[in-house]
Amino acid sequence: MMTIAGTRRCCLLLLLAFSAADARSIQGARCELSIDYRKGDLKEPQPLILTEAKEPTFLLPEQHRLLLIPANASILLACPGRNNSLLGLPGSAGSQQRARATCLGGKDFLVESEVRSFSNLTCKRLPKETVRKVAGSTCLGRHDKYEIGFAVDRQLFLPLIEICRDASTLRTYYSKYTIPKEIAGYQSQYPRPYWKYGSLYPGYNMNYAFKAEVQLRSMTALLGSEEQARKFIQPGKQYLNRGHLAAKADFVYGAQQTASFWHLNTAAQWASFNSGNWMIAEAAVRNLTSWRQLDLLVYAGVHGVTSLPDVEGVEQPLYLLVNATEKAFPVPRFYWKIIHDPVGNRATAFVGLNEPYASEITEDMYLCPDVSQQEGFSWIGWEPRNIEKGVSYVCSVAELRKSVPTIPALGETGLLL
């Protein structure tokens, strides 16, 4: 028979237990997950984190690289790719590639009827993107359209980048994608992977083509002497590298950033331009997206062919690969980027000159009237008349399209400042 003291002690223990449960309930009103690459809760190999909806999309961080998930709300975790699977699942569920996870509070989720800490839910390997030609669809009226994205299952494909490509020259005209307003929470310092080209460049080894010594040989054949070629190809300092069209840092998650490393999404770009004004413009656009809280539709492409003087002083169109029998992969003279706010129907065009060896700034470097000196563009922060970093300017989309017919029509838009 329980004594009065024992009864009091039992009641006190029950009270403490209920208080602890209440405290956990209050604290666990939602789940907060950091996606910080080095210190966050999203561990490697990281799964795709998707909304649970009829048409799932990537769940994006709201602030400070944090995912905020209400209590009892569910998300989808996916590990697409051959021989991939979601790890940390109970029992026989360990071979599946996707699962629903329901927030219990803090870092805990209910997965396959068992409680799991989010950090224990990883993939066997990093989710693998898919590159596919869009059947029955073209771009610019007659060119091939490709998509880079994630095939979560047979019914669900998450597109990331749309590519418009000329099948005869193997040249990408532009990449189309979206920079989300949550881009400030992207996974910075995520490792750069190897570049991929698959079977999309038959007869060519694109990794070989971008080696500095190969560029030197090509330039020697094009310009007439190695001495002349060495004026322009300086390994470790100035050379042609792969210039992203859809930039790595324009995507939030590491798996998305990795998916941008396809040659389809690049063109040859001089190193000083790549790390100069064009990089500054890319960062400025991300800052604008975050500051103005806009989901921006982006078109990033190339135009024209740059040139260099040969031993006789004659300008020669520049190609990445040159030998006795062919000239392949023309080096663009211009890079352009259109940022479009579909909701407000406003857009702006950026143009950069891929000619760091030009002796002076000339009128033909401007494809359209420069409006960057207007009030409202100080947020860019570049050096627009620095030739080595890339002569750069801003135009209306309508004016740029008069010179660049490969820019898709957006209709009548206002200027996005």
Q: CB–CB of 89/96 below 8 Å?
A: yes
pTM (2 d.p.): 0.92
Annotated binding-site ranges for Mg(2+):
274
What Rg do the C-alpha atoms of the chain give, in angstroms?
26
Longest CA span, the chain: 111
Q: Give dist(CA 384, CA 273) in Å, integer.
A: 11
Catalytic residue, candidates 64, 244, 263, 340 = 244
CA distances from 331 to 281, 296, 390 (A): 20, 28, 15
φ/ψ of 381, rounded to 5, equals 75, 20
String of DSSP letters for 128-182: PPEEEEEEEEEETTTEEEEEEEEE-SSS-EEEEEEEEEETTTTEEEEEEEEE-TT
143 is a catalytic site residue: no
Residue 169 structure tokens = 């020259």
Structure tokens at 220: 């020697």
pLDDT, position 374 = 83
- CATH 3.40.570.10 in the chain: give the residue spans: 130-415
Cα–Cα distance measured from residue 404 to residue 338, given in angstroms and rounded to the nearest whole number: 12
| Location of structure tokens 């070629």 | 229
pLDDT value of residue 13: 37
Sign, CA dihedral 237-242-245-250, equals negative
Residues annotated in the binding site, as ranges? Answer: 274
Phi, psi angle pair for 30, to nearest 5° = -155, 170
User: Which amino acid is residue 198, in one-letter code?
Assistant: G
CB 268 within 8 A of CB 332: yes
CATH topology of domain 130-415: Extracellular Endonuclease; Chain A (3.40.570)
Note the Cα 294 to chain centre separation in Å.
Answer: 17
Two tokens, residue 228: 């002349």
pLDDT, tens digit only, all 417 positions of the chain: 445 444 444 444 344 333 333 434 444 589 999 999 999 999 999 999 999 999 999 999 987 899 999 999 999 999 999 999 999 998 755 689 999 999 999 999 999 999 999 999 999 999 999 999 999 999 999 999 999 999 999 899 999 999 999 999 999 999 999 999 999 999 999 999 999 999 999 999 999 999 999 999 999 999 999 999 999 999 889 999 999 999 999 999 999 999 999 999 999 999 999 999 999 999 999 999 999 999 999 999 999 999 999 999 999 999 999 988 999 999 999 999 999 999 999 999 999 999 999 999 999 999 999 999 887 899 999 999 999 999 999 999 999 999 999 999 999 999 998
| CA separation, residue 64 to residues 185, 242, 357, 369 (Å) | 6, 31, 41, 39
Nearest by Cα to 211 from 227, 200, 195, 191: 195
Give CA–CA dist 72/350, Å, rounded.
45
Q: What is the pLDDT of residue 92?
A: 58
Report residue 115 as tokens. Answer: 């409680």
